[in-house]
Structure 1
Amino acid sequence: MSESINAKDVEIFLLDNPDFFVSREALLTELDFKHDSGNASSLLERQIKRLREEHNTLIELLTSFVEEAKVNEDLFIKSKNLTLSILEASDDKDITNRIEKEFKDNFGVDVCTLKFFDNSEISVIEDKTDLSLHKGAVHCGSFSSAKLSILFEDKEISSAVIAVLVYGRKIGLLQLGSKDRTKYLGDEDTTFIEYVRDVLEARLSSLASNE
């Protein structure tokens, strides 16, 4: 009597011989099994379904990569134009006009302001807002209406990003405001706004040294 073959033996054999069905395609159509849903399906159909799912997953992943690349390219171009605009500015007033226009027109920011204060004025703002406005500080989030009313003239602003820069003896506040309370939640990556702040500081320092 021949030794019986169990399911594990068949599984091992097929794994060791992955090309077993290449010359036995007709056999595939005869192999049926039940899915969890109870519907009968041939092994070939299941393989095709799996391949299609993998294909769709790869297409979705590729599409995501392409879309992200387009977004990054768009941000790079806008950032480059913003940087060039700052470098072409003739004085601090020109820089203020350029930066406010660029952010509103090209970055979809509801409100952008760049204002300069002396130390005593900054101390007053710090006391009223409870924000530390030292050199290099960046604050973002959905602040209280009381704080926002001190920082912005527009009463509809609900969230904001504030970057602090130094210009000689002046302290500058680069402020981006949104009417959307969820726009700036406080957990954003601040790398971009820090980059813009650094470019502003460098250009302002250059202008000051030429005066």
Structure 2
Amino acid sequence: MIDADEVTDWLQNNPDFFHGREQLLCQMQLNHPCGDAESLLSYQLQLLRGQVKEQEDRYQELLANARENEKRLRRVERLLVCLLETETAEELVSVLAERLQNDFGLPYLKFWSYTNLNSLPRADEEIQKKQRQLLGKQQACCLSLQEENLQVLGLEDSQARSAALCLLSHTRPLGLMVLAHPDPLHFRYHQDTLFVEYLGSVVSRLLSKDRRQFAARQA
């Protein structure tokens, strides 16, 4: 006598068995719940439609992500062009703050200088040490802000509840860039920092150029 497993194996090896035997399919009933399906054929069709709908939803999601990424890329391109047109550290900070606010919805920007950067607030050794401790061994990080962190970063409670930090460096540490947001969940621990690091790399090179010009004027 043939058991159920043998029938299953045989049908899997002969998927076209029911071709031309539709009447047999109509007479078969499934014991497990299958909604309004009354036969194996209609149930299979129901499953296929569900799979097609799932794939369509996934495609639309990927398409939406691609469009959003393209918009972000355009905003980043505009930002870089504006930064490259600046001539001083003061102008760079002003333009960057404006573009981050208008194009990326980031309302607060703070810079700290660890060297001679014209017009930027200088962090003393104690402040530098505490700021570097927040970064740990990372180039950039995201974190929720507590009262003690606000003081170290020079921010007010009404301004920021979360922030992205990036160490600025070009052959040597130059300072710290702080992007802050009043939403405590906007920047989250373990959040990707690729954009912040990329922006920090560009800003570091522009600030390094300004530092050399400042040193030349002081000589």
CA distance in 1, matches of 2:205, 2:124: 21
Which has the larger displacement, 182-191 or 100-109? 182-191
Q: Secondary structure at the match of 1:176?
A: strand
CA distance in 2, matches of 1:161, 1:58: 36
CA distance in 2, matches of 1:140, 1:7: 57
Structure 1 residue 133 displacement after superposition? 7.0
Match of 1:186 among 172, 176, 189: 189
Aligned to 1:34: 31
Q: Secondary structure at the match of 2:179?
A: strand
Which has the larger displacement, 8-17 or 114-123? 114-123
- The answer as to whether partners of 1:145 and 1:158 remain within 8 angstroms in 2 is no
Match of 2:208 among 191, 205, 209: 205
- The answer as to whether partners of 1:34 and 1:41 remain within 8 angstroms in 2 is no
TM-score by length of 2: 0.80
CA distance in 1, matches of 2:140, 2:108: 17
Aligned to 1:22: 19
Q: Aligned runs of 1:5-154 on 2, under 5 Å?
A: 5-36=2-33, 41-118=38-115, 121-126=123-128, 131=133, 137-154=139-156
CA distance in 1, matches of 2:28, 2:195: 58
CA distance in 2, matches of 1:9, 1:136: 59
Over the residues paired in the alignment, what is the CA RMSD in angstroms? 3.0
- The answer as to whether partners of 2:113 and 2:123 remain within 8 angstroms in 1 is no
Q: Secondary structure at the match of 1:106?
A: helix
CA distance in 2, matches of 1:39, 1:95: 65
Which has the larger displacement, 62-71 or 124-133? 124-133
Residues 102-159 of structure 1 show CA distances to partners (whole Å, capped at 9, x for unaligned) of: 1111111131223435487341313566736799742420131122134244322111
Structure 1 residue 204 displacement after superposition? 2.7
Structure 1 residue 62 displacement after superposition? 0.9
Residues 168-196 of structure 1 show CA distances to partners (whole Å, capped at 9, x for unaligned) of: 99833211111111222221111211111
Which has the larger displacement, 200-209 or 45-54? 200-209
> Where does structure 1 lack aligned partners over 5 or more consecutive residues?
none
The alignment of Structure 1 onto Structure 2 pairs a total of residues equal to 208
CA distance in 2, matches of 1:88, 1:58: 45
TM-score by length of 1: 0.83
Structure 1 residue 165 displacement after superposition? 1.3
- The answer as to whether partners of 2:29 and 2:38 remain within 8 angstroms in 1 is yes
Aligned to 1:175: 178
CA distance in 1, matches of 2:89, 2:137: 18
Cα gap change, 1:11 to 1:98, in 2 (>3 Å): same
Aligned to 2:119: none
CA distance in 1, matches of 2:110, 2:12: 66
- The answer as to whether partners of 1:126 and 1:132 remain within 8 angstroms in 2 is no
Structure 1 residue 198 displacement after superposition? 0.7
> Where does structure 2 lack aligned partners over 5 or more consecutive residues?
117-121
